[in-house]
A and B are shown apart, each in its own frame.
Chain A
Amino acid sequence: MTRLTLKNSLSVLTIISILVFSGLVSIAEEGIDDQTTSIANLLMCPVCQGQSVGESNSNLANDMRDIIRKQLEEGKSQEEILAYFVSSYGESILASPPPKGINWILWLLPGAGIIIGGVIITLFLFRAQKEDGSEDRKEIETIAKSQDEYINKVDEEIKKSDS
């Protein structure tokens, strides 16, 4: 009875160990798959129109994904893998250019454009409002003046007719 229980316990323990190990392996596999995809999305496919390595189904993109995966399995970091592709294809392989040298313009230009555009639009609206306001005031003053003259004339006529 005791021997049977021990045997059963060992079997259960073995099954649990196998399950845990296979679970860990599949978690690691998923991790590498996710990392492969995220690095592939940082690289542009050199033979495709505006597609990343992650999006493209070309032979070259497939080879590149295989190499990313292999290098991840070898323990290389994301930076090392990206540097490898840059050394072969140049910086144009990167989906977003690194912020250095003349590339800074690409990073700063959109923000600068929004700020400058915002300032110009604000100035335009401010001046337009100011000028519209002064024109309206002049018009009101002119109308009021002409109405005053008319009322004065009417008063004079009434006075004349009374007298």
Chain B
Amino acid sequence: MKILGASGKIVVLIIIVGLISLMGYAIFGNRVSIKTSPLIGTQAPDFNLKTFDGQDLKLSDLEGKTVLLNFWASWCMPCKQEAGALERAWQKYKGDDVVFVGVNVWDENSNALKYLSKFGGGYPHALDPDEEIQIDYGVGGVPETFFIDSSGMVRDKFTGPLTEQIIDYFVLKAQKPQENES
């Protein structure tokens, strides 16, 4: 019993080929412009944080410097894993107009202070009193790190524990003038 005629078969074939092409485009197409965050290439959302030693810390005050903004929590194992690399990298870059800022999110204050005494390092760590910075930066989990160039533009985002090599790569990239990456 014939279900479709010759023309029907051609139509079905065209539909199947079209769907496969669309799936291929969705999976493999335009990969160059895939970004890890919609903030990349845009001005970094300004923040007004309170450091654990009571100082105000504004992003706008850091203009002209490369900023590494690292989101962490005391309960986060990968944050402990990357703490050593962050400290070593901070020691290396602190004279080069590179500022490291740790932002504690979704945490208890007492646990955060205990964590800082063990893993904190020498750079400033802060809290957002309004608990909005993590949403402003589209943070979904910890650790997440943003690299902001001297003009205040978000250059990259890295999700997961950092190593010294990863920090070097993104800090040096943020220090270079932006090229057309699209």
Contact A90 B138, beta carbon cutoff 8 Å? yes
Contact B134 A63, beta carbon cutoff 8 Å? yes
State in angstroms the CA–CA spacing of A127 and B4 once bound together. Answer: 9
Contact A131 B1, beta carbon cutoff 8 Å? yes
Contact B25 A88, beta carbon cutoff 8 Å? no
With A88-B135, A131-B1 known as contacts, the answer to whether A60 contacts B106 (CB < 8 A) is yes
Tell me the minimal C-beta distance from B72 to chain A in angstroms: 14
Is B2 an interface residue, CB under 8 A from the partner? yes
Tell me the minimal C-beta distance from B5 to chain A in angstroms: 9
With A47-B140, A47-B141, A127-B2 known as contacts, the answer to whether A90 contacts B22 (CB < 8 A) is no
State in angstroms the CA–CA spacing of A90 and B139 once bound together. Answer: 11
Contact A67 B26, beta carbon cutoff 8 Å? no
- Give residues of chain A (91-141) contacting chain B, Cβ–Cβ below 8 Å: 102, 105, 116, 120, 123-124, 127-128, 131
With A63-B135, A67-B132 known as contacts, the answer to whether A88 contacts B3 (CB < 8 A) is no
Number of residues from A at the complex interface, CB < 8 A: 23
Contact A127 B135, beta carbon cutoff 8 Å? no
Contact B2 A59, beta carbon cutoff 8 Å? no
Cβ-closest chain A residue relative to B15: A116
Chain A: interface secondary structure?
Answer: helix
- Give residues of chain A (38-55) contacting chain B, Cβ–Cβ below 8 Å: 46-47
Is A73 an interface residue, CB under 8 A from the partner? no
Is A15 an interface residue, CB under 8 A from the partner? no
Contact A88 B38, beta carbon cutoff 8 Å? yes
Contact A90 B38, beta carbon cutoff 8 Å? yes
State in angstroms the CA–CA spacing of A124 and B134 once bound together. Answer: 56
The 8 A CB mask of A63-89 against B (1 = contact, 0 = none) is 110110000000000000000011111
**B15: chain A residues within 8 A (beta carbon):** 116
State in angstroms the CA–CA spacing of A102 and B140 once bound together. Answer: 25
- In the complex, 19 of the A-B residue pairs with CB atoms within 8 angstroms, ordered by the A residue number, are A47-B141, A59-B106, A60-B106, A60-B134, A60-B140, A63-B132, A64-B135, A67-B132, A85-B135, A86-B38, A87-B38, A88-B38, A88-B45, A105-B22, A120-B12, A123-B4, A124-B3, A127-B1, A127-B2
Contacts A88-B137, A90-B35 supplied; 8 other A-B pairs, CB < 8 Å: A46-B140, A63-B131, A63-B135, A86-B38, A87-B38, A88-B135, A90-B37, A120-B4
